[in-house]
Amino acid sequence: MSEQPHTPPDEGEIHAAELAQTEEEGLKETAEDRLSDLVEAVWERKVLDRGFVRLVGHMGGDVAVVQSARVSFGHGSKGEEKDRRLIDYLIKHHHETPFEHAVFKFHVKCPIFVARQWFRHRWASYNEISGRYTTFDEGEMHLPEVLRVPDRANKQGSTGRIDPDVEKQLLARMKEHQETTWALYEELMGRGVAKEIAREVLPLSLFTEFYWTVNARSLMNFIRLRAEQHAQYEIRRYALALRDVFRETMPWTYDAFLEHIWKDLSTGIEQQQAER
C-alpha cells in the first residue's frame, strides 16, 4: 500500500487543540497574559484607558535604508553625515522603496472601532485575537473621557464636548450598557451557547489585541494619516505613540519625515486635552 501524503493541520485545528489543552488544565489566564507570554516587549506606551502599543521586535533601521539605497552602486555606509543626507534626499524626492527594508513588529491593544480603521492600512501583516477560540476579559471596554459633539467643519469628525451635566448622565448609561452586554455574553456561554455566537452581543468599545508587522515606509504613511488633525481622536493617540517609537528607533529617517512629509504637526491632541 502506498504511503499517504502528510497533511499538516490548518490554523483552526491548531488553535482548537491549544484551547482544549488550556481548558483541560484549568488555566485562568487573561487574554493579555496569553499574548504577553509569547514575547517580551522592548518598548511600551500606554494608550487610552486600557490600551497599549508595544514594540516587540524590529529589524534594520536607518542603516538598513542606506545599505538598500546604495546597493545599486555596490556601496554601503559612507559615514553619518553623508548617510543622513542620503536619507533626506530619498524622502524629499519620494524614493521610498529602501525604507521597506526597515521592519517593526508591534503588539497592539485598542478598541475594536480603532482596529477597524487601523486595518484599512493594508501594506502590513496582521494577526488578531479571536473570539471564536478564546473568551474576552471582563471589563475590557473603552469608556470615553468626554462625549464630543459633531464637528461642523469635518462632517465625520467630532470636537469639544456636550454639556457636562448631560455628559455625566450619558457616560453612566454607557457604562451600564457595557456591563449589561457583558453579563449577557457570560450568560449565553453559561447556558451552552458557543463563543462565536455569544460574542455577537459585545460592543465596538471592546478592546481587541493584534500583532502588526509593518515596514518603515508604511509606518510613515500610517502616522501621516492617523496623527493628522482630521483623524479620530482615539486613533490619533495610537499614531502619536507610534511616532514616538519611530523617532527613537530611526532618528535620521524621522527628521527627514518631519521636514518633507509630515509638515503639519498640529494634531489637535494638545488643544483637545487643554479644553478638558
Protein fold of 29-140+206-271:
Gyrase A; domain 2 (3.30.1360)
Domain ranges of the chain: 29-140+206-271, 143-204
pLDDT (tens digit per residue) in 54-108: 999 999 999 999 999 998 777 778 899 999 999 999 999 999 999 999 999 999 9
Percent of the chain with pLDDT over 70: 80
The pLDDT value recorded for residue 139 is: 87
pTM as predicted: 0.82
Q: Is 243 a catalytic residue?
A: no
Catalytic member of 54, 199, 226, 243? 226
> How many Cβ atoms from other residues are within 10 Å of residue 18's Cβ?
13
pLDDT (tens digit per residue) in 21-41: 544 443 345 555 555 545 567
The pLDDT value recorded for residue 4 is: 45
